[in-house]
Amino acid sequence: MDNLVEVIRQASLFSSLTRKEIDLLAQSAARAGFTRKEAVYRPGSPMDAIFLIANGGVKVSKSNDQDVRFILDIYRPGDVIGEESLTHSGTHDTEARPLDQATLIKFDAKVVGRILEENPRFARACLELSNQRARLYREKVEDLIFKEVPARLAAALIKLTRAFGRRDKQGTLIAARITHQDLADYIGASRETVSLALGQMRRKKLLKMSVRKFILPDPKALRKSAEA
């Protein structure tokens, strides 16, 4: 229980909650582990909970009838997903799935909603989160329109470095299991095109790759490529 309370307290979205409110969340919480093959929620799942990522990475994606998938974003420990359940009823139209192994804490949306109604600072934090994610989605659409694949890919790698980066003797390691297909779905490109762009980055010494590992020797140089 104490460990759960500490995990909740460290999440930025819940930083304005009182100890009583955190205890109320903890009492209604359920911790669950997921693998890459398991969905946290999928289209058609009821919107009745929000989830705090305790460890691991989680991708939230949307797909069409032809199974063309687009990753809206990739979230790290401390992030909350499924926040739409606080303002909407019905069912999800997106899928949340771990990059590899992940542990999430599930909160009843009704319990979180009651706290939201009684805590203006928490309500403001939820609104800011929604606005931030809406802005990010708009920026992704703009990138699709105005940027070529190499620039979009470089920007995605930089963002993943900020979320999962870890210092390595060769540079900055993205400490998450990211596949070429994940990157393709993340930037709205084909897997083949992404693989070609990754090869070009490697030849320019902007990137080092091994099995499901990406290392950025010089993130600043790659950032310049993303801004080009």
pLDDT tens digit sequence for 111-170: 999 999 999 999 999 999 999 999 999 999 999 999 999 999 999 999 999 999 999 899
Radius of gyration, CA atoms only, the chain? 19
The pLDDT assigned to 228 comes to 65
What is the C-alpha separation between 26 and 2, in angstroms, rounded? Answer: 9
Q: Which ranges in the chain are annotated with CATH 1.10.10.10?
A: 147-227
Long-range contacts of 158-163 (CB under 8 A, 24+ apart): 158/216, 158/219, 158/222, 158/223, 158/226, 160/74, 160/214, 161/216, 161/219, 163/57, 163/74, 163/75, 163/76
Of 46, 62, 58, 19, the closest CA to residue 108 belongs to 46
What pLDDT does residue 212 have?
A: 75
Spelled out in words, what is the top-level CATH class assigned to the domain 147-227? mainly alpha
Amino acid (one-letter) located at 76: R
Which DSSP string corresponds to 192-206?
A: HHHHHHHHHHHHTTS
Q: Which CATH number fits domain 2-144: 3.40.50.2300, 3.20.20.70, 2.60.120.10, 2.60.40.1180?
A: 2.60.120.10
Task: Report pTM.
Answer: 0.93
CA distance 106 to 104: 6
Q: Which amino acid is at 28?
A: S
Sites in the chain below the pLDDT cut of 50: none
Listed in order, the ranges of the chain carrying CATH 2.60.120.10 are: 2-144
What is the per-residue pLDDT for 2? 60
